[in-house]
C-alpha cells in the first residue's frame, strides 16, 4: 500500500533531443538511452510509503465488464491469485462505468459499489494495487458500447447508424454531438460534467481508504467530438482542431475533475489520458500543465495508451514502415517532462496470431524497460488478445504462448533511483542499475519468474556482502529481495541463467 507516496524526478535536458525525434518521425528512437546505459534526466517515478520507486506492471480487468448486465468482470478470486502468483503482476487497471455508478441522475448504486468492493478485496488479499478506470467507448451503450448513463446523452437529436467497426462510430453525428455537449462546459449542458465530477467524488469517498486502491483514471480514451478527424490519427498538427481542444476544453475538464477528486482524497494518485486514437498511434497530445491542489508534492500521473493503427488495420507488423513505437516514445517523453509526471502505459495489446506480433511485443517491452515505465496490458480476458484460454464455462484451461513474453523479470520496487533496467529474452539476462538510498530500510524487490524462464536455476551478480548488500529469495512468490542499507555507490545487479 502506498497512499502517502510521493514521486521522484530525474530532471534535465533531453527534451531537445526528443523534440527532434518527434519532428523527424524517426523509425529508430534513442530518446530514452539504450537498455544498457543510464537514463538521462527527465524520468519521473511513483514511490511507496518506504520511499522506494514502484514499477507497476499488470493488465486491464476487464473487457468482459462492458457486456455484463451489472458491469462486473467475469472474475473469481482464483483468477486474482493466478494473476499475482503465476504471472507476478502487481497492479490492475480496473474498469468501472458511469452508467453503473449513477444509473439515475443523482442516484448512486450502492449494490454496484458493494460488488466492486468484494473484487477489490481479492486484489488486496494478494498484494495487487488497483487503479479505478472510469471507462467509456463511443460515449454510451446507446452508441454501441459503454460509458455514460442514458440520461446523460445530449446528442442534439442527430442521427446515429451503427457501424460494424466499433471505433468508426466515434464519427457518427450523434456521437460527435454527445462529446461536444459533454466537454463544452460553458455551453447548454454544464450539468453533464457536474454530475460526472460528483460521480467520481462518490466513488472516491467509497474507495479512497481501500487497501488496494492507489488511484483513479479520470476517463478512458476521451473523444474531442466534432474536432476528431481521421487524418489527425496519423499526423496531428499543432494548429489542428484536436490540438486546440486539448489546450482548452480538455485541459479545463481535467482541472475540474482533479479539483473534485481532491475535495475528497488528498493522497490518491490521479491518472489522466490524452484524447482517443492519435496519441495512442504515436502522435502528440497538447494538454496543458495540470496543477495538483493537494499540499506537498503533486500526485498526477500520465496514462496514455498505445495502439498502432497500421498494425491493427493490416493485422501485420512491418517495422520498416511502422514508426508508431519510436514516435510514441519520443512524444510521451516530451509530455511527461512538460507535466513532470510519472508515466503508466494504460492500455496496449494485439492479437498474438498476427504476423510480426512477436516482434512488436518484443520491441514494445524493450521500450517499456528502456523508459522504465509501468504498463497494463489489454486485457485479462481469455482468447482474443489475452494470454490464457478458457473452457465453455469461462474457467482457466491453459496459458497461451504470448504469456511467456508478457511475464518477464522486472523491478517491482527499487530502494533508490533506477538508472536503467532490461531483460533479454534470448540470453535470459536481466540487469538493473540504481543509485541506492543510504537510509533505505526496505529492500529492492525483483520479480524473477524462475519456474518459467530459469528452470535450471539462476545466479545473481552485483550484490556483495562486503559492500553491504544482501539478498533473500522467496521461491513461492518468485521475488528476490536485495537489501542495500547504508550503501551509497551505484548498484548494478545482473541475473544470468545457470546451465
Write the pLDDT tens digit of every residue in 325-368.
999 999 999 999 999 999 999 999 999 999 999 999 999 999 99
pLDDT score for 425:
98
What is the grid cell recorded at 135?
471507462
Extended strands (E) in 278-427: 300-302, 305-306, 344-345, 347-348, 374-377, 388-390, 396-399, 410-414, 416-424
> 413-431 burial, b for 16+ CB within 10 Å, e for fewer?
bbbbbbbbbbbebeeebbb
pLDDT band with cut points at 50, 70 and 90 for residue 22: very low
Rounded average pLDDT over 182-192: 98
> 460-477 burial, b for 16+ CB within 10 Å, e for fewer?
bebbeeeebbebeeeeee
Alpha-carbon torsion (4, 91, 215, 349), positive or negative: positive
Strand, helix or coil at 171? Answer: helix
Using the predicted structure, report yes or no on whether residue 11 has a pLDDT greater than 50. Answer: no
What is the grid cell recorded at 488?
551509497
Rounded average pLDDT over 360-382: 98
pLDDT score for 28:
33
Cβ(343)–Cβ(301) below 8 Å:
yes
Closest CA to 41 of 5, 17, 6: 17
Cβ(127)–Cβ(443) below 8 Å:
no
pLDDT score for 19:
32
Rounded average pLDDT over 224-241: 96
Using the predicted structure, report yes or no on whether residue 256 has a pLDDT greater than 60. Answer: yes
Using the predicted structure, report yes or no on whether residue 29 has a pLDDT greater than 60. Answer: no
Cβ(278)–Cβ(232) below 8 Å:
yes
354-359 contact pairs (CB < 8 A, 24+):
354/311, 354/315, 354/316, 354/317, 355/315, 355/316, 355/317, 356/311, 356/316, 356/317, 356/318, 356/319, 357/317, 357/402, 358/405, 359/317, 359/319
Taken as a whole, the chain contains a residue count of 499
Cβ(465)–Cβ(473) below 8 Å:
no
Helix (H) or strand (E) holding 16, with range, is: helix 15-24
pLDDT band with cut points at 50, 70 and 90 for residue 42: low
pLDDT score for 7:
43
Helix (H) or strand (E) holding 309, with range, is: helix 309-314
d(CA 220, CA 342): 18
Rounded average pLDDT over 75-104: 98
pLDDT score for 440:
85
Q: How many CB atoms lie within 10 A of CB 296?
A: 10
pTM for this one?
0.93
What is the grid cell recorded at 468?
553491504
Cβ(404)–Cβ(87) below 8 Å:
no
Which of 84 and 29 is assigned the larger pLDDT? Answer: 84
The percent of residues in the chain predicted with pLDDT above 90, rounded, is: 89
d(CA 277, CA 399): 30
pLDDT score for 37:
37
> What would the pLDDT profile of 131-140 be if each residue is shown by its tens digit?
999 999 999 9
What is the grid cell recorded at 481?
529481495
Q: What is the DSSP string of 452-498?
A: HH-TT-EEEES--GGGT-EEEEETTTTEEEEE-TT--SPEEEEEEE-
Strand, helix or coil at 53? Answer: strand
pLDDT score for 367:
98
> What would the pLDDT profile of 114-167 be if each residue is shown by its tens digit?
999 999 999 999 999 999 999 999 999 999 999 999 999 999 999 999 999 999
User: Which is it for strands 91-96 and 129-134: parallel, antiparallel or unpaired?
Assistant: parallel
Cell 478512458 locates to: 220
pLDDT score for 466:
79
Rounded average pLDDT over 73-91: 98
Closest CA to 420 of 470, 471, 493: 493
pLDDT score for 110:
98
Kindly report which listed range (18-27, 84-93, 430-439, 487-496) carries the lowest average pLDDT score: 18-27
Rounded average pLDDT over 16-28: 32
Name residues whose C-beta falls within 8 Å of residue 184's C-beta, 6 or more positions apart in sequence.
249
d(CA 110, CA 417): 42
Rounded average pLDDT over 234-257: 98
pLDDT score for 292:
98
Kindly report which listed range (49-53, 252-256, 456-460) carries the lowest average pLDDT score: 49-53
Using the predicted structure, report yes or no on whether residue 36 has a pLDDT greater than 60. Answer: no
> What would the pLDDT profile of 271-297 be if each residue is shown by its tens digit?
999 999 999 999 999 999 999 999 999
The average confidence (pLDDT) of the chain is 92
Name residues whose C-beta falls within 8 Å of residue 214's C-beta, 6 or more positions apart in sequence.
1, 2, 3, 91, 129, 130, 131, 268, 269
pLDDT score for 439:
83
pLDDT score for 101:
99
Query: Interior CA angle at 449 toward 6 and 484, to 5°?
Result: 45
Rounded average pLDDT over 388-413: 97
Extended strands (E) in 378-475: 388-390, 396-399, 410-414, 416-424, 429-436, 444-447, 458-461, 470-474
Using the predicted structure, report yes or no on whether residue 398 has a pLDDT greater than 70. Answer: yes
Amino acid at each position: 500500500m502506498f497512499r502517502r507516496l510521493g514521486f521522484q524526478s530525474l530532471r534535465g535536458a533531453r527534451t531537445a533531443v526528443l523534440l527532434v525525434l518527434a519532428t523527424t518521425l524517426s523509425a529508430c528512437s534513442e530518446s530514452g538511452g539504450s537498455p544498457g546505459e543510464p537514463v538521462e534526466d527527465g524520468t519521473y517515478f511513483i514511490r511507496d510509503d518506504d520511499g522506494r520507486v514502484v514499477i507497476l506492471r499488470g493488465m486491464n480487468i476487464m473487457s468482459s465488464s462492458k457486456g455484463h448486465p451489472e458491469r462486473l468482470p467475469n472474475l473469481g478470486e482464483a483468477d486474482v491469485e493466478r494473476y499475482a502468483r503465476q504471472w507476478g503482476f502487481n497492479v490492475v487497471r480496473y474498469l468501472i462505468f458511469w452508467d453503473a455508478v449513477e444509473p439515475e441522475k443523482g442516484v448512486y448504486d450502492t449494490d454496484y459499489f458493494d460488488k466492486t468492493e468484494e473484487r477489490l478485496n481479492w486484489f488486496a488479499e494478494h498484494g495487487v494495487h488497483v487503479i479505478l478506470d472510469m471507462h467509456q467507448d463511443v460515449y454510451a451503450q446507446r452508441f454501441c458500447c459503454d460509458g455514460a448513463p442514458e440520461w446523460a446523452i445530449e446528442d442534439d437529436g442527430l442521427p446515429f447508424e451503427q457501424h460494424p467497426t466499433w471505433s468508426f462510430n466515434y464519427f457518427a453525428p450523434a456521437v460527435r454531438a454527445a462529446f461536444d455537449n459533454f466537454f463544452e462546459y460553458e455551453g447548454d449542458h454544464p450539468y453533464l460534467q457536474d454530475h460526472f465530477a460528483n460521480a467520481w467524488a462518490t466513488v472516491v469517498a467509497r474507495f479512497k481508504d481501500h487497501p488496494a486502491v492507489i488511484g483513479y483514471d479520470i476517463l478512458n480514451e476521451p473523444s474531442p467530438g466534432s474536432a476528431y478527424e481521421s487524418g489527425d490519427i496519423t499526423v496531428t498538427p499543432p494548429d489542428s482542431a484536436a490540438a486546440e481542444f486539448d489546450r482548452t476544453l480538455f485541459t479545463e475538464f481535467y482541472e475540474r475533475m482533479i479539483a473534485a477528486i481532491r475535495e475528497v482524497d488528498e493522497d490518491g494518485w490521479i491518472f489522466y489520458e490524452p484524447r482517443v486514437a492519435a496519441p495512442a498511434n504515436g502522435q502528440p497530445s497538447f494538454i496543458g500543465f495540470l496543477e495538483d491542489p493537494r499540499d506537498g508534492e503533486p500526485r498526477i500521473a500520465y496514462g496514455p495508451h498505445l495502439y498502432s493503427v497500421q498494425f491493427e488495420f493490416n493485422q501485420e507488423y512491418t517495422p520498416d514502415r511502422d514508426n508508431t513505437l519510436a514516435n510514441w516514445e519520443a512524444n510521451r517523453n516530451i509530455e511527461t517532462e512538460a507535466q513532470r509526471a510519472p508515466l503508466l502505459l494504460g492500455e496496449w495489446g494485439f492479437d498474438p496470431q498476427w504476423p510480426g506480433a512477436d516482434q512488436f511485443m518484443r520491441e514494445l517491452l524493450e521500450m517499456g524497460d528502456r523508459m522504465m515505465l509501468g504498463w497494463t496490458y489489454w486485457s485479462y480476458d481469455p482468447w482474443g488478445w489475452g494470454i490464457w484460454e478458457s473452457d465453455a464455462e469461462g474457467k482457466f484451461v491453459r496459458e497461451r504462448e504470448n504469456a511467456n513474453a508478457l511475464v518477464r523479470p522486472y523491478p517491482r520496487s527499487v530502494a533508490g533511483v533506477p538508472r536503467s533496467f532490461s531483460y533479454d529474452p534470448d540470453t535470459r539476462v536481466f540487469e538493473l542499475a540504481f543509485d541506492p538510498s543510504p537510509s533505505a530500510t526496505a529492500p529492492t524487490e525483483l520479480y524473477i519468474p524462475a519456474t518459467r524462464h530459469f528452470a535450471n536455476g539462476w545466479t545473481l551478480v552485483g550484490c556483495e556482502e562486503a559492500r553491504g548488500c544482501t539478498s533473500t529469495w522467496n521461491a513461492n512468490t518468485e521475488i528476490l529481495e536485495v537489501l542495500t542499507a547504508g550503501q551509497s555507490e551505484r548498484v548494478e545487479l545482473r541475473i544470468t541463467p545457470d546451465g
